[in-house]
A = this chain, B = another copy of it.
Amino acid sequence: MLALAADSGQDYQAPIQIVRDPPKGLKTFDEMLSGQSLRRLEPHQHLFHQGDSDRNIYRIESGLVRLYRILSDGRRQIISLRFAGDILGFETALECHCSAEAVTHVTLRSLDQNSAYRRLRDEPALARQMLSLLSQELENARSQIAVLNRRSAIEKLAAFILELHRRQGESGTVDIPLSRTDIADFLGLTIETVSRNLTKLRARRIIELPQIQRLVIVDLDCLEALAGGECEDW
């Protein structure tokens, strides 16, 4: 993550630092968003559509949102999954280049883009947070390129499971709030391949599947080796 240090009041501009929690005492998206009212979305409701000129910044308070594009041949590509705590919408240009849709029940707060951007001039912390969020997003997207490209189905699945695991606090149990179709569209596979490889992971005692949308990691090391592409004989 890229962010500029902002020890308010100091003149010295420190080199870039990891700033998970934005600096106190300055306006940030978080503070501006926290003042907004909570909205609820049903599954399949959209935050915005590809081609819209949506003028809002959103923070997801709970639930899961998918960003996707419809390709010219009609196929759907899920670009990114956004979890509770994630901010989105800050990167949209004049026109949204993808659609955002609630996967589960979602609660979120939103903020008018212009009112936020108008403060960029006076609130250096806002610009820094925005840069930080964007470079984090860029890093995510590039990681996804590396994972998705040139990897077998089982490696993609392993990486996907680990990502969900990481986002859910690494408890060993992973909720899968997505359908197999969603997973397939995210990983660039078919539902059959997703299903077959989940079965394969279960058969090899790497995971358990107590419920259809719940997964228990049995052999974390092996899963990580798979995701890293270090398993030769698979």
Contacts and interface: CB of A to CB of B under 8 A. Distances in A.
A150 B121 CA distance: 42
A2 B229 contact: no
Contacts of A187: 149
Interface residues of A, number: 53
B16 A93 contact: yes
| Number of identical protomers | 2
A15 interface: yes
Interface string A10-36: 000101111000000000000000000
A155 to B, nearest CB: 9
Contact of A117 (B13, B75, B138): B13
Contacts of A17: 94
A228 interface: yes
Contacts of A69: 142, 146
Given A98-B142, A137-B138, A139-B97, A73 B2 contact: no
A73 B229 contact: yes
Contacts of A146: 69, 71, 77, 79
Given A4-B117, A13-B117, A150-B188, A228 B73 contact: yes
Contacts of A121: 13, 124
A91 interface: yes
Interface stretch (A37-45, A128-136, A195-203): A128-136
A135 to B, nearest CB: 5
A142 B79 contact: yes
A2 B91 contact: yes
Given A72-B228, A127-B127, A141-B141, 5 more contacts: A69-B142, A97-B142, A120-B127, A141-B145, A150-B189
17 contacts: A2-B92, A15-B114, A16-B93, A16-B113, A16-B117, A17-B94, A69-B142, A73-B230, A77-B146, A93-B135, A97-B142, A131-B131, A138-B138, A138-B141, A141-B141, A144-B145, A148-B149
